[in-house]
């Protein structure tokens, strides 16, 4: 059903570059890896540019227990509680303790977090029991960290940054990666990289859903490529939907940071009624899955297509504290100082991904993963707000340290491959297929799920594979579409298998958490599913 390679190719006829390390993806995780490997011949691939990474677009901040009133133990407790019983305690322990050192590293390099002479300014977000979110220039944390780290990476003589380069496939032999097939979009040609280790830091897959906060290029490419070469994937049923994205006809689904609610923003329904306290004692700062489902419930009750954020309680502080959000709303005719902001949920973050150990190693030799593309189990069934940037820093650093250990090894011998082209005489509208995947996943495998809709989705997705893989195109749109189709199938299968509700995975036909039978993980590989 799903081939081992997206396209046909002959390794003997392609240009091959020999390097020490190949890093795929340049968000915070990929750049953290690259900086650790700065003394080696390292190539960092961007499908697009730095501004098209989720790191760049992260608004809220970065969670870390560095205040006098906080501690790693408290941060761990909040992370474990939000993970709904299946977060990996060892991974969480690493996150909250090593995260403090990684924040100190950033500060020593020159990053300046918001604060004054008395210390840093912290905010609070959903699931946190105290204020521990660091931020930069209000809601510009991700952008400022991304720009800062990019300059550091670009200044390193041995690191080469390549833009508009797309990972098509890994070349493997006997459970070992020997090369990577990459498409140079600028020159419209393919090349192969041989390396001592290959690091995936390519992000999640938000664009398999119609509504998402992710940039348009986040299409699950690394996850799909890892699956095709035999990697084990884990926790694919757990996709986090952010409760509050800007909702207005014709406007992009712009993230309205959870920090807005942390500073005092109130959610109201169509009738102007505050509703979150009816769903959780923490109100607007309940874990994201609870807030998301509460919003969906209120939309159903009132017959509306959105709810509203009321910022009147913080109107004197909006423009200074949230300049990016303020300016965006004004561009679309809404003054947050005077008007309610229309919001609704959208796909935001993938807890599942390529299964790794605590050092980013996968079950495939020479293949590592970190950041959102990876699954260490640190998030369990639901991610604690603002733990994502911290995860990228911590586990990106660990992957870099682990890869240094293999820097003295010889390059693995490249497996020669000659895969013959698929030439079905059919017409395929690539953009239409991509839109259909996104629409189907949003309707059937989105915030609320049930057996009948999941079965319909899986049947349709599998039907589409019967012709989608018969014909071959050599362009990015087609690669993305096929990767989206693969990831969509795998998510749907995992969601169908988990017959309970846990964290972000909500089944209307199994609405309760079942710790007796389902306090465990689901893994998927080319060998099948393991529960």
Catalytic (active-site) positions: 288
Helix H or strand E segment including 439:
helix 430-444
How many other CB atoms are there within 10 angstroms of residue 114's CB atom?
17
Give which of 198, 201, 163 is closest to 30, Cα–Cα. 201
Give which of 32, 170, 180 is closest to 103, Cα–Cα. 32
Could you write out the three-class secondary structure of 255-302?
A: ECCHHHHHCCCEEECCCCCECHHHCCCCHHHCCHHHHHHHHHHHHHHH
Say which residues have a Cβ less than 8 Å from residue 241's Cβ, sequence separation at least 6. Answer: 288, 289, 292, 345, 346, 347, 348, 446, 447, 504
CA 111 to chain centre: 23
* Distance between CA atoms of residues 410 and 428, nearest Å: 43
Helix (H, G, I), strand (E, B) or coil at 432: helix
**DSSP-derived pairing of the beta strands 159-162 and 374-375:** unpaired
Q: Is 283 left (phi over 0), alpha (psi -120 to 50) or beta?
A: left
Helix H or strand E segment including 396:
helix 388-404
User: Is the distance from CB of 205 to CB of 219 less than 8 angstroms?
Assistant: yes
* Distance between CA atoms of residues 437 and 215, nearest Å: 17
- Please give the full DSSP string across 456-520, using - where no structure is assigned: HHHHHHHHHHHHHTTB---SHHHHHHHHHHHHHHHHHHHHHH--S-BTTB-BTTB-S--HHHHSS
* Distance between CA atoms of residues 20 and 454, nearest Å: 43
Q: Please, is 113 exposed, middle or buried when counting C-beta atoms within 10 Å of its C-beta (0-12, 13-18, 19+)?
A: buried
Instruction: Output b/e per residue, 394-432; b: 16+ Cβ within 10 A.
Output: bbbbbbbebbbeeeeeeebebeebebeeeeeeeeeebee
Q: How far is CA 219 from CA 8, 92, 374, 477, in A?
A: 21, 27, 14, 10
Backbone angles phi, psi at 446, to 5 degrees: -95, -130
Structure tokens at 80: 């474990």
């Amino acid at each position: 059903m799903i081939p081992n390679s997206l396209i046909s190719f002959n390794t003997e006829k392609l240009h091959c570059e020999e390097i020490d390390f190949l890093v795929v993806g340049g968000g915070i995780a990929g750049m953290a890896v690259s900086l650790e490997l700065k003394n080696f011949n390292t190539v960092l691939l961007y499908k697009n540019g730095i501004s098209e990474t989720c790191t760049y677009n992260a608004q809220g901040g970065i969670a870390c227990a560095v205040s006098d009133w906080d501690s790693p133990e408290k941060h761990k407790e909040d992370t474990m509680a939000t993970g709904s019983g299946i977060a990996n305690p060892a991974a969480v322990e690493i996150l909250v303790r090593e995260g403090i050192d990684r924040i100190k590293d950033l500060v020593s390099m020159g990053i300046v977090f918001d604060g004054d002479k008395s210390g840093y300014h912290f905010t609070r977000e959903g699931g946190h029991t105290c204020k521990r979110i660091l931020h930069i220039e209000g809601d510009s944390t991700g952008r400022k960290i991304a720009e800062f780290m990019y300059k550091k990476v670009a200044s390193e003589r041995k690191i080469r940054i390549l833009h508009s380069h797309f990972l098509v496939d890994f070349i493997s032999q006997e459970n070992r990666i020997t090369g990577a097939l990459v498409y140079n979009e600028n020159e419209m040609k393919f090349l192969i990289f041989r390396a001592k280790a290959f690091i995936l830091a390519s992000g999640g897959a938000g664009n398999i859903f119609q509504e998402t906060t992710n940039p348009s290029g986040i299409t699950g490419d690394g996850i799909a490529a890892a699956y095709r070469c035999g990697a084990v994937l884990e926790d694919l049923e757990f996709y986090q939907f952010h409760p509050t994205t800007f909702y207005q006809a014709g406007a992009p689904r712009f993230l309205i940071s959870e920090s807005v609610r942390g500073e005092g923003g109130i959610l109201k329904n169509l009738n102007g009624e505050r509703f979150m306290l009816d769903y959780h004692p923490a109100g607007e700062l309940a874990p994201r899955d609870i807030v998301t489902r509460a919003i969906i419930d209120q939309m159903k009750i009132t017959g509306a297509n959105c709810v509203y954020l009321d910022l009147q309680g913080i109107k004197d502080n909006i423009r200074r504290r949230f300049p990016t959000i303020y300016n965006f709303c004004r561009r679309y005719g809404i003054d947050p100082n005077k008007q309610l902001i229309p919001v609704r949920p959208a796909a935001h973050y993938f807890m599942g991904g390529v299964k790794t150990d605590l050092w980013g190693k996968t079950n495939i030799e020479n293949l590592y993963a970190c950041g959102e593309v990876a699954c260490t189990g640190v998030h369990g069934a639901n991610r604690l707000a603002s733990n994502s940037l911290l995860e990228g820093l911590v586990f990106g650093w660990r992957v870099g340290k682990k890869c240094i250990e293999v820097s003295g090894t010889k390059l693995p011998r490249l497996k020669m491959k000659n895969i013959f082209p698929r030439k079905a005489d059919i017409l395929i509208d690539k953009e239409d297929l991509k839109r259909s995947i996104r629409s189907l996943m949003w309707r059937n495998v989105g915030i609320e799920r049930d057996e009948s809709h999941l079965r319909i989705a899986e049947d349709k997705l599998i039907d589409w594979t019967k012709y989608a893989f018969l014909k071959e195109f050599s362009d990015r749109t087609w690669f993305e579409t096929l990767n989206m189709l693969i990831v969509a199938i795998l998510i749907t299968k995992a969601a169908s298998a988990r017959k309970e509700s846990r964290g972000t995975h909500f089944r209307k036909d199994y609405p309760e958490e079942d710790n007796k039978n389902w306090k465990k993980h689901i893994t998927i590989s080319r060998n099948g599913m393991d529960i």
